[in-house]
């Protein structure tokens, strides 16, 4: 039913995402090298910081490509979800790299505010303008060919490229200020602004991916709507031990225990499960496991899973 269609769509965007990412990766990586060399030759920290941002871009795009490659490897006995989690680990790595790059830039900039070096502003201007054009090109490629809404990786890549654009704009403005007024401080100033952007996105990416690793409930999922789906079925008396988590971005799973009427036949339970599965698919959960039990054998009547300490020592509540 809904399943087959869903899958085909996923594979289509999957291939498109991978191709788009690969192209973007090569463009960004090659320009990053240009920008690093340019930053050293023109002595511009703004260019170097933009290159640092591009480095993290290149990492996130490259990792995206690898993640899709690994993700295609099927699940094995030792890794029952396949390699989907690799994307999330990669996102953590990327977030941490971003923060490190930013700290380096802050450190360098402080040095430069006190004694600004000579800057070849004309060269800096040219490279910054080319950088802006490269970023616009990549952003356009990503918007056209990829699923930037749902996929955490694609979204991270896209946000990076937008951040890069701002970095190039900063470098352009700094170069113009140095050229027109000889304001040497404009260059470290621009690099600090870029570094702030880098830190913010670094923290965000790290936070989101750690949330997934901690099996946090996916942000786009309304837990109460899910509980409603179960409560709305006349055969279900109650549910407990409900868990909702992401395997990787855009792929959500759920498990719970459902207390059902005593005289439910196996056929009826199957039908009930099918209808639950169908409703939950619409709420963005593609993978469900429901354990059924009758009211006599049901334990703990709390919707979320209580751990043993809590149920024993209620008075120890902090």
Among 185, 213, 241, where does a domain finish? 213
Q: Is the pTM of this model over 0.85?
A: no
DSSP, residue by residue, 217-274: PPTT--HHHHHHHHHTSTTEEEEEEEEEEEEETTEEEEEEEEEE-TT--HHHHHHHHH
The CATH code of the domain that includes 232 is: 3.30.70.1350
What is the distance of C-alpha 147 from the center of its chain? 12
| Same domain (yes/no): 61, 196 | yes
The pLDDT, as a whole number, for residue 202 is 84
The CATH code of the domain that includes 164 is: 1.20.1510.10
The pLDDT, as a whole number, for residue 73 is 63
| Same domain (yes/no): 149, 238 | no
| Same domain (yes/no): 145, 291 | no
| Same domain (yes/no): 188, 68 | yes
Name the residue with tokens 């896209």.
158
| Same domain (yes/no): 81, 228 | no
| Same domain (yes/no): 209, 279 | no
Buried b (16+ CB within 10 A) or exposed e, 231-261: eebeebbbbbbbebbbbbbbbbbbebbbbbe
The pLDDT, as a whole number, for residue 65 is 80
Q: How far apart are CA 276 and CA 288, in angstroms?
A: 9
251-260/287-294 β-pairing: parallel
| Same domain (yes/no): 179, 247 | no
Q: How far apart are CA 138 and CA 189, in angstroms?
A: 26
| Same domain (yes/no): 88, 148 | yes
The pLDDT, as a whole number, for residue 141 is 87
pLDDT mean values, one per 10 residues, the chain (318 residues): 43 69 90 91 89 82 76 59 69 84 89 84 92 92 72 72 85 92 89 87 83 76 85 86 80 88 84 90 86 73 56 45
**Residues of the domain holding 139:** 2-213
Locate 66 and state its tokens: 């690898």
In a domain, 182, yes or no: yes
């Amino acid at each position: 039913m809904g399943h087959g269609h869903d899958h085909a769509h996923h594979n289509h965007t999957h291939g498109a995402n991978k191709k788009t990412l690969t192209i973007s990766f090569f463009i960004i990586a090659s320009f990053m090298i240009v920008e690093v060399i340019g930053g050293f030759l023109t002595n511009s920290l703004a260019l170097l910081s933009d290159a640092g941002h591009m480095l993290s871009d290149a990492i996130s795009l490259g990792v995206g490509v690898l993640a899709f490659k690994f993700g295609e490897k099927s699940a094995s006995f030792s890794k029952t979800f396949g390699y989907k989690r690799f994307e999330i680990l990669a996102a953590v790595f990327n977030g941490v790299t971003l923060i490190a790059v930013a700290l380096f830039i802050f450190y360098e900039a402080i040095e430069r505010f006190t004694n600004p070096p000579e800057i070849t502003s004309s060269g800096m201007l040219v490279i910054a303008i080319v950088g802006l054009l490269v970023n616009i090109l990549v952003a356009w490629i990503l918007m056209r060919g990829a699923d930037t809404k749902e996929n955490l990786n694609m979204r991270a890549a896209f946000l990076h490229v937008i951040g890069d654009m701002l970095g190039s704009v900063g470098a352009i403005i700094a170069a113009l200020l140095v050229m027109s007024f000889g304001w040497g401080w404009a260059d470290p100033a621009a690099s600090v602004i870029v570094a702030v952007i880098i830190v913010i996105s670094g923290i965000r990416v790290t936070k989101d991916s750690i949330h997934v690793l901690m099996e946090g409930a996916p942000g786009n999922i309304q837990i109460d709507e899910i509980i409603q789906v179960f409560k709305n079925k006349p055969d279900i008396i109650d549910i407990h031990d409900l868990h909702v988590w992401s395997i990787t971005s855009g792929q959500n799973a759920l498990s719970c225990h459902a207390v059902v009427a005593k005289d439910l036949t196996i056929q009826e339970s199957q039908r009930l499960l099918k209808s639950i599965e169908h409703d939950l698919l619409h709420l963005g959960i593609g993978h469900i496991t429901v354990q059924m039990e009758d009211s006599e054998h049901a334990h703990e009547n709390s919707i979320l899973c209580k751990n043993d300490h809590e149920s024993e020592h209620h008075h120890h509540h902090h």
